[in-house]
């Protein structure tokens, strides 16, 4: 049996009636999770799909998505979670790279425009109400096999599939369980989409510990009033989110310790936790434990952590990202900063949380994963510095990857998408930062093809944005299109993105 499944099963059998999933009024027990995922495994093994072939699992944050994830692991297939907010073109791209043998579709979309066969929601509903639950657990996903593959943005317009194995997750889960004291008394906010590995902070260490996952889904997140109600009426005691999501909730009146006394632990990951945000948090929830954690998808969710208390806030202007997990090695490619005396440069990490690379993409894998003295080190692309005691500080990226509202975006990819449009001769997309140094907006500076250069800019903006909508996700679309005559060019003749970033943020 797969080791993670074994762990979840052992915990679940101690208290099968325990609620594992709650979304508003909807609840499901651990027993249901176990039984229904057996039914999915049985259905999948009856299909005799190629061994270990990946499956796309398309949907939102429903209970059934978790059932499908576990079912596919039990049957012996890694899964690729794709959020139903993605348009069909995302599925086409992922399908092209991953070549899945089946799409498990828990949505109402009928056609993804790919040849890959799909199991529709209706079909899956029948599976979940059938009596067939026999499957061969010897064929389940193994320790070093891929468990899930999460697709992130890529520089050339083709997304990269990060392969995460059972061993990778086990190592992360054991660390998280110990570091953040997971117990079966925990009720955890689960807000991140399942296609974002922040959700794994909740799902695997959580289910292995017998927690209740309190889902706040996309519909709720999008609607201010509904979200306010969901958060203020909730009884969860553990918060997991990006700092951006938390900041949004800071606007709710009554979002404080007095009204939510049970909420006493906050874990953040995915982007910078600013001093201002952490300070507001501790003002509202003075008794809470607040953790900043850091990690790229390629390193399985998070690899550092640090407790942010009032003493830390008093000591640091920019908060540290924490201490690296003790079983990981690291190198900092850079030099000693003369001002701070700290080693500063790009962070490279090696160890049991590091992915084996990008699925079917040896070129990008070789670029990012380097063999140094027989060990694989992942180039995080993050600039850090390290204090004598090992505490790490984040100083931004070495490349043009940004985080906006928690989403990871490679600016080159946005330009590659813009470059496919007939109106665009050249483009350079840059971030606009707010006072807290967070990316507030993406501004695309565009040189138009001559025949479009005299058209009305409002019309052009609408047309270009609408065309982008057909090929990419909402969050990848620049907020502002700025039509310019020319772009700055660097000495070696390339578009000078750094200069443009400076100009836009002047
Ligand atoms: P993702 O793969 O979507 O989890 O994004 C990983 C990237 O997000 C990292 O390489 C960092 O650039 C950024 N990141 C994640 N956590 C933090 C943090 N606590 N502070 C600053 N940046 C972070």
Categorize the per-residue pLDDT at 338 as very low, low, confident or very high, splitting at 50, 70 and 90.
confident
- For a mutational test of ligand 1's pocket, the pick from 293, 307, 394, i.e. the residue with the most ligand atoms closer than 8 A to its C-beta, is 394
The interaxial angle of helices 457-471 and 411-419, nearest 10 deg, is 110
Using CA atoms, how far apart are residues 348 and 335, in angstroms rounded to an integer?
14
- Mutating to test ligand 1, I would choose from 154, 403, 476 the residue with most ligand atoms within 8 A of its C-beta, which is 403
Q: How confident is the model at residue 84 (pLDDT cuts 50, 70, 90)?
A: confident
| H/E stretch holding 413 | helix 411-419
Q: Which range among 45-49, 83-87, 218-222 shows the weakest confidence by mean pLDDT?
A: 83-87
Name which residue sits closest to atom 22 of ligand 1, judged by CA: 271
Does residue 302's CB lie within 6 angstroms of at least one atom of ligand 1? no
pLDDT tens-digit series, residues 117-174: 999 999 999 999 999 999 999 999 999 999 999 998 776 778 899 999 999 999 999 9
Confidence at residue 85, expressed as pLDDT on a 0 to 100 scale: 80
- Model's pTM, two decimal places? 0.92
Helix axes 30-45, 3-14, angle to 10 degrees: 140
Chain-centroid distance of CA 392 in Å reads 21
Expressed in angstroms and rounded, the spacing between residue 383 Cα and the centre of ligand 1 is: 11
pLDDT at 211 over 90: yes
Which parts of 297-345 fold into alpha helices (H)?
A: 310-315
| CB of 34 closer than 6 angstroms to any ligand 1 atom | no
Give the residue whose CA is nearest to atom 21 of ligand 1.
272
The pLDDT value given to residue 339? 85
Q: Which of 212, 213, 211, 209 is nearest to 174 (CA)?
A: 209
Q: Tell me the per-residue pLDDT of 26-40, one tens digit each, with 9 for 90 and over.
A: 999 999 999 999 999
Q: What is the pLDDT of residues 242-274, one digit of tens each?
A: 998 999 999 999 999 999 999 999 999 999 999
């Amino acid at each position: 049996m797969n080791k993670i499944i074994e762990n979840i099963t052992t915990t679940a059998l101690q208290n099968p009636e325990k609620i594992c999933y709650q979304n508003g009024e909807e609840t499901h027990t651990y027993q249901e999770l176990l039984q229904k995922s057996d039914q999915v495994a049985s259905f999948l093994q009856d299909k005799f799909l190629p061994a270990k072939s990946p499956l796309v699992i398309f949907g939102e944050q429903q209970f059934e998505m978790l059932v499908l994830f576990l079912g596919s692991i039990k049957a012996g297939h890694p899964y690729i979670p794709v959020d139903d907010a993605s348009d069909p073109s995302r599925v086409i791209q992922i399908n092209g790279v991953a070549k899945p043998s089946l799409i498990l579709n828990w949505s109402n979309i009928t056609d993804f425009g790919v040849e890959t066969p799909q199991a529709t929601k209706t079909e899956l509903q029948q599976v979940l109400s059938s009596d067939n639950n026999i499957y061969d657990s010897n064929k389940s996903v193994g320790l070093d096999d891929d468990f899930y593959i999460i697709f992130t943005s890529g520089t050339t317009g083709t997304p990269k599939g990060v392969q995460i194995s059972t061993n990778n997750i086990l190592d992360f889960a054991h660390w998280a369980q110990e570091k953040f004291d997971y117990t079966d008394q925990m009720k955890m906010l689960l807000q991140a989409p399942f296609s974002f590995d922040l959700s794994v902070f909740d799902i695997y260490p959580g289910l292995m510990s017998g927690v209740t996952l309190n889902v706040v889904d996309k519909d709720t997140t999008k609607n201010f009033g509904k979200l306010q109600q969901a958060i203020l009426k909730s009884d969860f005691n553990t918060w997991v989110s990006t700092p951006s999501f938390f900041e949004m909730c800071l606007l709710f009146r009554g979002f404080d310790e007095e009204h939510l006394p049970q909420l006493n632990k906050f874990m953040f990951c995915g982007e910078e936790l600013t001093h201002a945000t952490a300070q507001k948090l501790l003002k509202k929830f003075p008794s809470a434990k607040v953790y900043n954690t850091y990690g790229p998808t390629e390193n399985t969710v998070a690899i550092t952590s640090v407790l942010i208390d009032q003493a830390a806030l008093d000591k640091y202007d920019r908060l540290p990202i924490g201490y690296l997990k003790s079983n990981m090695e690291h190198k900092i490619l850079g030099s000693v900063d003369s001002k701070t005396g700290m080693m500063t440069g790009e962070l490279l990490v090696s160890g049991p949380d590091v992915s084996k690379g990008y699925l079917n993409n040896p070129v990008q894998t070789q670029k990012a994963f380097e063999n140094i003295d027989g060990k694989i080190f992942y180039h995080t692309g993050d600039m850090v510095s390290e204090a004598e005691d090992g505490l790490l500080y984040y100083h931004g990226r070495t490349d043009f990857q940004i985080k906006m509202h928690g989403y990871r975006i490679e600016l080159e990819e946005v330009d590659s998408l813009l470059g496919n449009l007939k109106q665009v001769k050249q483009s350079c997309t840059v971030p606009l930062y707010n006072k807290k140094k967070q990316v507030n907006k993406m501004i695309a500076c565009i040189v138009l093809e001559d025949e479009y250069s005299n058209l009305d800019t409002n019309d052009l903006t609408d047309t270009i944005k609408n065309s982008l909508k057909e090929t990419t996700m909402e969050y990848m679309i620049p907020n502002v299109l700025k039509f310019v005559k020319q772009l700055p060019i660097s000495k070696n003749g390339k578009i000078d993105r750094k200069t443009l970033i400076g100009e836009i943020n002047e």
